[in-house]
Amino acid sequence: MNHVVDSNGSVQNLNGVLEEKLDELRALIGKAEGDPLRIVGIGAGAWGSVFTALLQESYGHLRDKVLIRIWRRPGRSVDRATAEHLFEVINSREDVLRRLIRRCAYLKYVEARLGDRILHADVILKDGFCLNMIDTPLCPLKVVTNLQEAVWDADIVINGLPSTETCEVFEEISRYWKERITMPIIISLAKGVEAELEPEPRIITPTQMINRATGVPMENILYLGGPNIASEIYNKEYANARICGAEKWRKPLAKFLRQPHFVVWDNGDLVTHEVMGGLKNVYAIGAGMVAALTNESATSKSVYFAHCTSEMIFITHLLTEEPEKLAGPLLADTYVTLLKGRNAWYGQKLAKGELSLEMGDSIKGKGMIQGVSAVKAFYELLSQSSISVLHPDKNKPVAPVELCPILKMLYRILITREFTVQAILQALRDETMNDPRDRIEIAQTHVFYRPALLGQKP
């Protein structure tokens, strides 16, 4: 039995607390006795796998009340180098080694290490190994490779897919939900965004994609995000997140998901928080480039940080009526992504020549680099003359992107490929660039708010 000691020194039964939280959620959803609550994760990237594993560790022992599974596509093979590294990880962790031997699962990793067997991502995930996060073994997971089997009777669906894949997969899922009487609850972890330019410019977020694809009402779709690194959360580093959406579900789900090391708050502003999660990925790529090109110069990185934060503040004034409420969460998420996120890592590798743009934005061992598509989305959106703003120096209307030189340069490096990575430093050293303080002042002293950008009415 698991126990936890509170601040008064008394011991309470943790399993009892977890079962009570599960019972409350089951009652709210309307689950009958003997009918388990069915939770399924869709997509097995680092965060999707960790999120599912956290639920499995907390509630998996209550088998008669909850069934937790994860779906990933079958057939993805593990290359020899990764198999060799995985074998080293297994043998460096006595608990993992003993678990695999006890489950009669160790031999296949020996054979893969010797080159006598090919492992597949869905098979190793059952043993707790996420292909994008080999160095952090998870608990064993129930893996399903048939999408229809995974989702057709799910009560709660966790979207762990990149934004670039969300629409396609959920359109397929919608075919399996045509006969459903009750709608599932969907929690999206995706931080990417896409741009839609017709009939008028607006951002499309993963929760909106899911709503369009499936017809599940927005009341049942939530977003969970925060300044988190997946491997650190699984290793019980203290972290927090926000679950955003309709009050009916966000408050009980926040309580259900909350753990001693993982505090979950709730907020009603769904789309704006979701968009901010995508925005910081844009500038994280540039931060990685600057760090690598300047040999980790603290001064250069701080100059970049000043410019990128001022652009993000400017953009938030376009997207929300009360941008100051987002300042803390956005900066926290940006900070952790710059420190250890995959988008900053990607920028560094590009600048060092260890990766190239021709390799695409789905990288072995890391998964999808969502900042690349976010650069394209924000640039295309903010380039539209229909949402022009008054330029402070030229005193004439310009597209908002003209006041975001870092975003412009990242687009010309990553998307049109007009410039090499080194051009990000030229952008920083441009003598005509406005003082970051001026950009913030412009945002704060002008009415830039464009509710239509998030599909909202004025």
Residue 317: how many other CB atoms lie within 10 Å: 23
Rounded to two decimals, what is the model's pTM?
0.89
Which tens digit of pLDDT belongs to each residue from 402-456?
Answer: 889 999 999 999 999 999 999 999 888 876 676 777 777 777 776 667 777 776 6
For 143, the enclosing helix (H) or strand (E) is: strand 143-144
Strand partners, 265: 242
Listing DSSP states for 257-319 in one string gives: H-BTTEEEEEES-HHHHHHHHHHHHHHHHHHHHHHHHTTS-HHHHHHHHHHHHHHHHHHHHHH
Is residue 241 predicted with pLDDT exceeding 70? Answer: yes
For 5, the enclosing helix (H) or strand (E) is: strand 3-5
Token digits of residue 196: 């839609």
Strand partners, 450: none
Strand partners, 204: 194
**Amino acid residing at 182:** T
Q: Which residues are catalytic?
A: 280
Mean pLDDT, the chain, whole residue set:
89
Name, in order, each residue with C-beta under 8 angstroms of 302's C-beta and a sequence gap of 6 or more.
none
Which tens digit of pLDDT belongs to each residue from 46-96?
Answer: 999 999 999 999 999 999 999 999 999 998 999 999 999 999 999 999 999
Name, in order, each residue with C-beta under 8 angstroms of 44's C-beta and a sequence gap of 6 or more.
70, 71, 72, 121, 122, 125, 130, 131, 143, 160
Instruction: Write the DSSP symbol of residue 435.
Output: P
Average pLDDT over residues 113-141: 96
Label residue 385 by pLDDT band (50, 70, 90): confident
Pairing of strands 3-5, 11-13: antiparallel
